[in-house]
């Protein structure tokens, strides 16, 4: 939850390469999208996976190392991270908060500007429906980025964050947003409840664009 008085930071300028991060204490999804004119181009995606048997501090260390390698490799101009909106319990909330803090730290240490978006906002930006299922988000990500493979759920969520940020950039000049006002929620398409899914038709595979580059890939 955003602390009282804290307002969303609007994009100061247009970013062409955005890293989306879907933080988690066992898996951390990442997705990189480039803007080229009116096109949105897929660059890379995947997830950093850590054994559940590893202690929390070791998992956080691996997440930080993985994100650092990705940031160093691709040099994103902005980072989009999902806000914490709910958790199944106190322990889960604390673990997720730790992982999210690591993501923010990795971005800050490399001078990458941070932008935060809620889950409903991201889903609405990508599918037009704020309560879309994960499989629907995956299907729309595949369609919007013209992917020939099925991204993992973590990778798709991270790509959705990157696309959401790029959409905010396009809207900001038209809305004449100032730092003291939160950006309006994106509208349109609330009746889009039956998006086509690719359930069972494809398997997650290593992203072709980043093959052999970043060691954390979807298998």
Told to judge if 190 belongs to the known catalytic residues of this protein, a careful annotator would answer no
Angle value at C-alpha 115, between 23 and 121, nearest 5 degrees: 75
**Given the residues 22, 116, 121, 150, the one annotated as active site:** 22
User: What percent of the chain is modeled with pLDDT above 70?
Assistant: 69
Residue 4: band (very low, low, confident or very high) from pLDDT cuts 50, 70, 90: very low
Q: What are the residues facing 35 on neighbouring strands?
A: 40
Q: What is the mean pLDDT of residues 171-176?
A: 41
Hunting for tokens 């100061």 — which residue is that? 12
Phi and psi torsions of 81, nearest 5°? -125, 140
**Does 4 reside within a domain?**
no
The mean pLDDT value for 162-171 works out to 84
pLDDT value at 123 more than 90: yes
Does 184 reside within a domain? yes
Q: Is 18 helix (H, G, I), strand (E, B) or coil?
A: strand
> pLDDT at position 13, please?
53
Choice among 3-17, 52-66, 84-98 with the minimum mean pLDDT:
3-17
With respect to residue 9, please indicate whether it lies within any of the assigned structural domains.
no
Q: Which residue range forms the structural domain that includes residue 179?
A: 17-210
What is the tally of structural domains in the chain? Answer: 1
* Exposure b/e, 14-43, CB count within 10 A at least 16 = b: ebebbbbbbbbbbbbbbbbbbbeeeebebb
154 is annotated as an active-site residue? yes
The number of angstroms, rounded, from the C-alpha of 143 to the middle of its chain's C-alpha atoms is: 17
Average pLDDT over residues 89-97: 80
Structural domain includes residue 7: no
pLDDT exceeds 80 at position 1: no
Encode pLDDT of 12-26 as tens digits.
456 799 999 999 889
User: Which of 47-56, 128-137, 138-147, 180-189 comes out lowest in average pLDDT?
Assistant: 180-189
Top mean pLDDT of 51-55, 177-181, 204-208 is at: 51-55
Confidence of residue 78 (pLDDT cuts 50, 70, 90): very high
Q: Is 139 a domain residue? A: yes
Q: Could you say which of 62, 116, 121, 154 is catalytic?
A: 154
DSSP string, 145-176: TT-SSB--HHHHHHHHHHHHHHHHHHHHHHHT
Query: What's the confidence (pLDDT) of residue 91?
Result: 77
Q: CATH number, domain at 76?
A: 3.30.420.10
85 lies in some domain:
yes
pLDDT of residue 175 exceeding 70, the answer is no
Which of 62, 82, 121, 157 is the catalytic position?
Answer: 82
């Amino acid at each position: 939850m955003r602390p009282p008085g804290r307002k969303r930071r609007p994009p100061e300028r247009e970013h062409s390469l955005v890293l989306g991060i879907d933080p988690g204490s066992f898996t951390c999804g990442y997705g990189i999208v480039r803007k080229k004119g009116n096109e949105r181009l897929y660059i890379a995606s995947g997830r950093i996976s850590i054994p559940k048997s590893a202690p929390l501090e070791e998992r956080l260390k691996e997440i930080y190392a993985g994100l650092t390698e990705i940031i160093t490799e691709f040099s994103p101009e902005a980072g989009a991270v999902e806000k914490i909106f709910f958790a199944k319990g106190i322990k889960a909330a604390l673990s997720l908060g730790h992982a999210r803090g690591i993501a923010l730290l990795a971005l800050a240490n490399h001078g990458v500007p941070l932008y935060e978006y809620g889950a409903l906002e991201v889903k609405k930006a990508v599918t037009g429906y704020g309560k879309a299922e994960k499989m629907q988000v995956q299907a729309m990500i595949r369609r919007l980025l013209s992917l020939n493979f099925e991204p993992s759920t973590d990778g798709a969520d991270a790509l959705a964050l990157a696309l959401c940020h790029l959409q905010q950039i396009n809207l900001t000049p038209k809305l004449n947003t100032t730092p003291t006002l939160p950006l309006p929620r994106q509208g349109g398409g609330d009746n889009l409840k039956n998006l086509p899914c690719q359930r069972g038709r494809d398997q997650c595979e290593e992203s072709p664009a980043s093959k052999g580059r970043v060691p954390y890939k979807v298998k």
